Amino acid sequence: MRVVAKIGTSSLTDKVGVIDRSMIASICRQIAELRRDGHEVVLVTSGAVSAGVSALGLTQRPTDMRTLQALAAAGQSRLMEVYNAEFASHSLVAAQVLLVPHDFVDRSQYLHARDTLERLLELGCIPVVNENDAIANDEIRFGDNDHIAALLSHLLKADILILLTDTDGLYTADPRSDAQATLITDVFEGDPLMSVDAGSSSSNRGSGGMASKLSAARIASWSGVRAVIAQAQIDSVLNKIVAGSIAGTSTIGTTFHGSDRHLSSRQLWVAFASEVRGRVVVDAGAALALRRQAVSLLPAGVVSAAGDFEVGDTVEVIDPDGGIIARGSSLMSMQQVQVSAGRRTADLDEHFPQLVIHRDGLVILPS
């Protein structure tokens, strides 16, 4: 079984933000046990900024991006020192992999990242992945590792994505403020994943929260990957989740079952990894056709376009009420969409693009 496991800053650090070496030791021990059982594991870890805060003796975590990036640079090597030492105690080699959104947005980089990670697994390494916070642009960055972990689960065709956090899983409401909140053990295809109360991180040490984990679970589900959100402090949590997945049971945390609607690599990349460059507004008839059938978007159904996109860029398809219907890879530039909007294909010049978005490059999003 191929496993992508992610652990966040709130689970890796104590109340003052210092890296909890005992937690890293526990995670490395569990991964070593999974490896001995024949499983492949990719670990996505946060904690570089907190390690930097501790290394420089700061009393609190700064908020300005320039300082946070500097702290990430100071902390990343120290974080890896701990992972290297703990994995080495189990005769395993950790391999640092730092990613930025461009590695998923650019198709060639996307494939290159996959090839590198696949080779590391073939060599018996444990890839330890983090966002390259030290150089990531403030406007073009993930901001949390849940997103990266979900994209990696698709990239590597993982069998299961495990998101370790400081809560037991997904609740019907925020258990910190609602005594009636109950744990949701299973979420199946078609369930409204975002309809429950999902707030921000419960600590000030991390950047994610339940909302980002729900988003990550949706990405994994659409990849056909089983995803589990669980409490990092549970003894042997990784081993128990993997054993439960093999047995087809949900015993810990919240399990998001993989969808039968498997998107292609290109479609998932368009839906979740690529940068949106513009918007195409369609009329009511086109909106209905797109939602009901797997059809291409024709110029006749387009009302208007906005943005600065070219052929191949990702655009959002918007219904007359402003709702997002889909994302797709445009076969026209913004200017071409504007020129052809509302016109039948037969009325266009034979050398002019005949489709705005082909159905193979179009992903209908949940309403």
One-letter-per-residue 3-state SS of 37-62: CCCEEEEEECCHHHHHHHHCCCCCCC
Residues 66, 245: Cα–Cα separation, whole Å: 42
Residues 315, 330: Cα–Cα separation, whole Å: 7
CATH 3.40.1160.10 segments of the chain: 2-263
pLDDT-based confidence at 201, cuts 50/70/90? very low
User: Does the pLDDT at position 203 exceed 50?
Assistant: no
Asked whether 191 and 168 are in contact (CB, 8 A), the reply is no
pLDDT-based confidence at 343, cuts 50/70/90? very high
Q: How far is CA 165 from the centre of its chain?
A: 15
- Summarize pLDDT for 119-150 with one digit per residue, the tens: 999 999 999 999 887 776 554 455 578 888 98
- Summarize pLDDT for 215-269 with one digit per residue, the tens: 788 778 877 889 999 999 999 999 999 999 998 887 799 999 887 766 776 777 7
CATH 2.30.130.10 segments of the chain: 275-364
The CATH architecture one would assign to domain 2-263 is: 3-Layer(aba) Sandwich (3.40)
Fold of 275-364: 2.30.130
The chain-wide mean pLDDT, for the chain, equals: 86
Residues composing the chain: 367
Q: What is the pLDDT of residue 190?
A: 67
The pair of structure tokens assigned to 150 is 């979900």
The secondary structure of the chain in percent helix, strand, coil, rounded to multiples of 5, reads: 40, 20, 40
